Amino acid sequence: MDNLDKLFYWRGIASEYYNYRGEKVAVSLQNRQRLLQAMGVNTDSAEAIAEQAYALDIEPWRNWFPPLLMSDASEKPQFTINVAPSDLHKTFYYEIFLEAGGARSGEFVPAACDEVGDYLYEGVRYTKRAIPVHEIPIGYHRLRVTHKEEASKTSNTQLVVVPPQAYTPDWVVQGKRPWGIIVQLYTLRSARNWGIGDFTDLKMLVTEAAEAGADMIGLNPLHALRSPIEHHCSPYSPSDRRFLNPLYIDPEIEPEYIKKTADILPILVRLRAQDKVAYAAVYSTKMAVFREMYAVFNANELEKNSPRAQKFRRFVSDSGESLQDFCLYQVLAETTGQEIDQLDEAQRKDAANRYAERIQFHAYLQWLADSQLEACQRHARERGMKLGLMRDLAVGADGGGAEVATNAHLFCRSAAVGAPPDPLAEKGQNWGLPPIDPATLRSTGFNHFINLLRANMAHCGALRIDHAMALMRLWWCPPGQTADFGAYVYYPFREMLGLLRLESVRNRCLVIGEDMGVVPAEFREALMRANVFTNKLFYFEKLQDGRFRPAQDYEPRALAMLTNHDVPTIASWWIGSDLQLRQKLNLLEEGVDYEEVLVQRDMEKLRLLEWLEARGLVKRDQFAALLAEPMRQTFAAALLHGVSQCASQLFVVQLEDLELLEEPVNVPGTSYQYPNWQRKLAVPLELLFSEERVQSLLRAIAMERG
DSSP 73-96: TTSPSEEEEEE-GGGTTS-EEEEE
The model's pTM:
0.96
Residue 705 sits at φ, ψ, to 5 deg, of: -80, -5
Q: What is the pLDDT of residue 668?
A: 87
Alpha helices in 468-627 (DSSP H): 493-506, 521-529, 570-575, 577-584, 594-614, 623-627
Dihedral sign computed on CA atoms, order 376, 377, 382, 385: positive
* Bridge-based pairing state of the strands 124-132 and 650-654: unpaired
Q: How many CB atoms lie under 10 A from the CB of residue 421? A: 18
CB 64 within 8 A of CB 155: yes
What's the DSSP call for residue 257?
A: -
Q: How many CB atoms lie under 10 A from the CB of residue 308? A: 17
CB 423 within 8 A of CB 517: no
Looking at residue 215, its amino acid is: D
Residues present in the chain in total = 706
Q: What is the pLDDT of residue 424?
A: 62
CB 473 within 8 A of CB 17: no
Residue 524 sits at φ, ψ, to 5 deg, of: -65, -40
CB 649 within 8 A of CB 555: no
Instruction: Report, as ranges of residue numbers, the positions in the chain whose pLDDT lies below 70.
Output: 423-424
* Bridge-based pairing state of the strands 139-147 and 92-97: antiparallel
Domains of the chain listed by start with CATH number: 3-59 (no CATH), 75-162 (2.60.40)
Alpha helices in 238-278 (DSSP H): 261-273
The burial class, CB within 10 Å (0-12 / 13-18 / 19+), for 443 is middle
Q: What is the pLDDT of residue 428?
A: 84
CA dist 178 and 162 (Å) reads 28
CB 136 within 8 A of CB 71: yes
